[in-house]
Amino acid sequence: MKNNNPNQSQLGRKLKAGPTDGAAETRVPDSNLRLIPKSARSTFVPYDPLQVSIKPGENDLTRIAPGRSVAEGEVIEVSGRITDEYGKPIKQVLVEIWNANKWGRYTHIEDHTGYQLDPNFLGHGKTMTDDDGNYVFWTIYPGSYLARPDIGRWRPAHIHFSIRGGSVRLITQMYFKGDKNLETDPMFIVLAEAAPRSIGVEYETQTNGAKRGFKFDIVIGGANANYFEK
């Protein structure tokens, strides 16, 4: 039967959040999602590389500058491929990551945890995807931190990702399999059936001091898109 209600045809699924400590209420819409029109999705075009200044080594977060001392903690490789919903690579887009240091501390004025800082770790890097949509970073395996001291809730280890294409910026997070704090983390619980796509897939490597890597492919658009934050 033909749907004569134009608004109904634009409705998507309704997100379900599992049990949390109340943080999910500000993140999960109480009504069905609205499908993004194809005309709007098409505005996510390759980023103009002329507007981005990428210096050698900016994808290596393990040291604050080439030739400097390596930060404390386990060096890991983080790599992946960015594609659209049809598997087509999205090339020449700006990818940025940031994460806490070994002790769970961000090098940021708003981090009031009091955890130890690492003078050799800034925790932010950037790179551009190649013609096949691939990217690679080296960073320190992030520590967990106590996000809610009043109820003893810890945030699991995670790495933030920012992807810029055209005038659009998408932000998501990569988590690590087996982290005991995942089951109580509101931001991870909100992912629901999309949770497996937000966990890096471990692999062995021998590059830049790393012994293991985590593959994190990012899909933009479609039914299997990554979960992006506001």
Distance CA 14, CA 29 (A): 8
Q: 47, 135, 141, 145: which is the annotated catalytic residue?
A: 145
Give me the tens of pLDDT residue by residue for the chain, a chain 230 residues long. 444 554 555 677 777 766 666 666 677 777 887 777 777 666 665 544 445 678 888 999 999 988 899 999 999 999 999 999 999 999 989 999 999 999 999 999 989 889 999 999 999 999 999 999 999 999 999 999 999 999 999 999 999 999 987 778 899 999 999 999 999 999 999 998 889 999 999 999 999 999 999 999 999 988 888 888 86
Q: Is the dihedral angle over the CA atoms 208, 214, 217, 218 positive or is it negative? A: negative
Pairing verdict, β 75-84 and 218-220: parallel
Pairing verdict, β 158-165 and 145-148: unpaired
Quote the pTM value.
Answer: 0.80
Q: 63, 105, 160, 164: which is the annotated catalytic residue?
A: 160
Residue 145 designated active-site:
yes
- Nearby residues of 73 by Cβ (< 8 Å), 6 or more positions away: 101, 102, 118, 121, 140, 141, 143
- The per-residue DSSP string of 80-127 comes to EEEEETTS-B--S-EEEEE---TTS--SSTT--S-PPP-TT---EEEE
Q: 63, 158, 164, 175: which is the annotated catalytic residue?
A: 158
Q: 106, 135, 141, 175: which is the annotated catalytic residue?
A: 106
**Angle of CA points 108, 230, 45, to nearest 5°:** 100
Residue 155 designated active-site:
yes
Complete domains list, the chain, with CATH: 47-220 (2.60.130.10)
Q: Is the dihedral angle over the CA atoms 48, 50, 51, 57 positive or is it negative? A: positive
Residue 118 CA from chain centroid, whole number:
22
Q: 63, 81, 105, 155: which is the annotated catalytic residue?
A: 155
Residue 141 designated active-site:
no
Residue 112 designated active-site:
no
- The per-residue DSSP string of 149-175 comes to TTTTEEEPPEEEEEEEETTEEEEEEEE
225 neighbors 216 (Cβ within 8 angstroms): no
